[in-house]
Amino acid sequence: MGQCSGKKSQAPRRGSPPGAAGELLLHTLEDLSQLEFKKFRDALAHGDLGGRSCIPWGRLEKADWMDTKNIMLDFYGGEGALDMAITVLERIQVRNAAARLRESRQRGGKAEGLPDFQRNYKKAILQAYSRMKDQNARVGDTVSLSARYSKLVIVNKHRDKEEREDEIVAMGRRHAEIMKEQASASIVVSDLFKPGPDGWTPKVVVLLGAAGMGKTMTARKIMLDWASDKVFAEFDYVFYIHCREGNLLTSQASMADLITQCCPDSSPPLAEMLGQPEKLLFLIDGFDELRFSFDRPQSELCSQPFEKRPVEIILSSLFRRRLLPESSLLVTTRPAALRTLGKCLDCERYAEILGFSEVERKEYFHKFFENAEQAAAAFQFVRGNETLFTMCQVPIVCWIVCTVMKQQLGRSGGLACSPKTTTGIYVLYLLALLRSLSGRLKPSMPGVLRRLCCLAADGVWRQKVLFEEKEVQGYALDQREALPLLLNEYLFQKDIFCVSTYSFIHLSFQEFFAALFYLLEEEGEAEKPPAGPTRDVKALLESYGSSRNYFMLTVRFLFGLLNAERRRELEEEMGCKISPRITQELLAWLQNSQQTALALLMKETAAIRELEVCHCLYELQDERFVATALDPFTGVCLRGLNLNRFDQIVLAFSVKNFPTLEWLDFGHCSFLWDPPEDGTGQQPAGQANRLEKSGLKEETLQKLAALREVKPNLNIGYL
């Protein structure tokens, strides 16, 4: 315990101006990870603070960033709070944050020397970008951007075809390893305009990222960090231009007009601002959303910042370095627009957002829930679902998962009750992506989706995740439609050329579309797609039987998409008809699939022998269907499996809705409640709730939340 615990606290110093110091302190606290923030509060209460008084733990125990800042200001005064924050950060070994705070504080002095307008501009940016709205936010609901922002893995090297294929296909542990490898070679945003190894400083940087990967969030965080003097100090002004939103909708404007739209003041000192163009950075967010044609002849471009021209010409002139050629550009785009971008812009540095590594996913959950217990419960649940956890690499999927789990945790029964299935989360992901489409594109979506589903199914059958341009075009999928939303484009070197190749964001998303292929009603398409796979689901199920795992996820999604609620959600948003006509085929297949050679040999056909059956039934979430499907069976025989938390919930769902169930056999099974922490090897005794076969008593089984519903009279075997 620190020396101060026994000391009487000094009377809090009051009255120091908290404004700037408070802002600095808050930004610093918000940038700490959950663990660092906890250590920070602990040191503030119990640490050895060089004779300064500690804050009683009772005040800090439940304090969030804002409370901690206010308590510190109240206790130590503005400057004293900053001194104390630096001391504590150094004591808990978060030296980068301490150094940053010290620097920003010094620069605070310099800010006083900035021209008024520049200072006001930064203040306005801080004001405008420090809070964010979630997509489902109610009026007035905002969260702190810094508090929510989790670090993203950003790399600045092109991956080759094999590496890319590996990434798309990898799941679970392998996927985590790939992300870890990438994270170790990643770059930070503040280095994007730093000189490269050859000493050359780029002026045009392109930041690539698939839909929902965090480009806008990163762009907004850059604005905030620049205005807080944390990054890009070399630029006097950073202007944010979002290609989807308002500022490009006017038909005629000058560059000066576009800049004015970015400013808080309606008549900014443009001549001064443009006086040093090398000190300007334009952050163009969402290039892929521009529907302009950029191949204008040079003679049409303009070079005068005050000249009014169609916005299309102004932007072309900026990209092609005719207008303000000394300024710098940071352009974010989805990969599908790379080729178009290449036609109008000479990218000097390329960086790609790959999403959250495993560590950051955990951090995201903690930041989102702000309640350690709920965050841990939700994280462990998702971690047990390999597919979902892999997709949580994509920040918007993390957001969807956390949002629905927060709602579930608020209900009685918690996570084990009325869960969102993997299919449910994928549907929400697809709908979130479609929502961002402009109204103009919506009418063409049913057709585009149908063709996309054909491509996906074709890929699943041919075990293919990278598609050549002619294959994509073969499905009449036009790049300028809504396609960039769902397919990523990559350029690979082939001999002496560069060729375009396309993929879904992850194989599991392709499998989701492949499943949808079997359920979409045909609606007299004008253009027939090329002869792809047949829509006969029997062929798929037969192949599943022989190839085993290859079609596993597609089949799980088939069950999930049969759920009436899922169908309704999709039909309403996509404008397609989804038919449950394959229900009977799935039912028959599920029942027959348990007549394995082993079961026949043992003359024991009345048992469910594969957990996969329970996974399929769980995805469907239809209790009547489960009861019908399980009616011919009397037992569940799962031997030698390690069942994680998600498996147990899935199993419990079937067991609960199994009217004819008489016996359960879990011989040599392990019931793992909390998966071991990554990289820590064996978990310390007492931490993991690992119930080895011998120790698994009926009472223990009853204690497992997921199997709480198991009927007490069942005959249960564990050996």
For 164, residues 6+ apart whose C-beta sits below 8 A from its C-beta are: 466, 490, 492, 501, 503
- Name the H helices within 92-171: 95-112, 116-129, 145-148, 161-169
Numbers of helices and strands, H then E, in the chain: 32, 20
Q: Which is nearer to ligand ATP, 16 or 479 (CB)?
A: 479
Pick one of 28, 146, 186, 216: the residue that binds ligand ATP (CB under 6 A).
Answer: 216
Among 392-400, 438-446, 517-525, 589-597, the segment contacting ligand ATP (CB under 6 A): 392-400
Among 167-175, 213-221, 532-540, 552-560, the segment contacting ligand ATP (CB under 6 A): 213-221
Between the alpha carbon of residue 138 and those of residues 133, 142, 408, the distances in Å are 9, 9, 18
Least Å from the CB of residue 448 to ligand ATP? 16
Site string for ligand ATP, 338-377 (x = CB under 6 A): --------------------------x-------------
Among 147-155, 300-308, 603-611, 708-716, the segment contacting ligand ATP (CB under 6 A): 147-155
Site string for ligand ATP, 430-449 (x = CB under 6 A): ------x-------------
Q: Which is nearer to ligand ATP, 364 or 467 (CB)?
A: 364
Q: Which is nearer to ligand ATP, 395 or 560 (CB)?
A: 395
Question: How far apart, in whole angstroms, are the C-alpha atoms of residue 298 and residue 433?
Answer: 36
Among 142-150, 316-324, 422-430, 684-692, the segment contacting ligand ATP (CB under 6 A): 142-150
Query: How would you list the strands of the sheet with 328-333, edge to edge?
Result: 153-155, 349-355, 204-208, 328-333, 280-285, 237-242
68-75, long-range: CB within 8 Å, 24+ apart, which pairs? 68/29, 68/37, 68/40, 68/41, 68/44, 69/22, 69/25, 69/26, 69/29, 70/22, 72/25, 72/44, 73/16, 73/18, 73/21, 73/22, 73/25, 74/12, 74/14, 75/12, 75/13
Least Å from the CB of residue 649 to ligand ATP? 26
Q: Which is nearer to ligand ATP, 307 or 370 (CB)?
A: 370
Backbone angles phi, psi at 206, to 5 degrees: -110, 130
Least Å from the CB of residue 227 to ligand ATP? 18
Q: Which is nearer to ligand ATP, 226 or 399 (CB)?
A: 399
Query: Which DSSP state fits 150?
Result: -
Cα dihedral 458, 459, 463, 469, rounded to 10, equals 120
Helix, strand, coil fractions of the chain, as percent rounded to 5:
50, 10, 35
Backbone angles phi, psi at 673, to 5 degrees: -85, -50
Task: Specify whether the CB–CB gap between 39 and 92 falls below 8 A.
Answer: yes
Size of the site for ligand ATP (CB under 6 A): 20
Pick one of 150, 340, 408, 554: the residue that binds ligand ATP (CB under 6 A).
Answer: 150
Q: Which is nearer to ligand ATP, 149 or 282 (CB)?
A: 149
Task: Specify whether the CB–CB gap between 640 and 581 falls below 8 A.
Answer: no
Pick one of 55, 63, 211, 454: the residue that binds ligand ATP (CB under 6 A).
Answer: 211
Least Å from the CB of residue 218 to ligand ATP? 6
For the record, the structure tokens of 433 come out as 């992506």
Q: Is residue 212 at the binding interface for ligand ATP, with CB under 6 A as the rule?
A: yes
Task: Specify whether the CB–CB gap between 457 and 513 falls below 8 A.
Answer: yes
Q: Is residue 399 at the binding interface for ligand ATP, with CB under 6 A as the rule?
A: yes
The amino acid sitting at 363 is: E
The amino acid sitting at 387 is: T
Site string for ligand ATP, 254-293 (x = CB under 6 A): --------------------------------x-------
Q: Which is nearer to ligand ATP, 135 or 687 (CB)?
A: 135
Pick one of 149, 282, 512, 718: the residue that binds ligand ATP (CB under 6 A).
Answer: 149
Pick one of 176, 204, 217, 696: the residue that binds ligand ATP (CB under 6 A).
Answer: 217
- Name the H helices within 198-334: 215-227, 255-262, 270-273, 311-319
Pick one of 25, 71, 152, 655: the residue that binds ligand ATP (CB under 6 A).
Answer: 152
Nearest residue relative to ligand ATP (C-beta): 214
- Name the H helices within 263-394: 270-273, 311-319, 338-344, 358-369, 372-383, 386-391
Least Å from the CB of residue 151 to ligand ATP? 7
Q: Which is nearer to ligand ATP, 229 or 363 (CB)?
A: 363
Radius of gyration of the chain (CA): 29
Pick one of 214, 424, 474, 675: the residue that binds ligand ATP (CB under 6 A).
Answer: 214
Give contact residues for ligand ATP (rule: CB under 6 A). 135, 148-150, 152, 209, 211-217, 286, 334, 364, 395-396, 399, 436
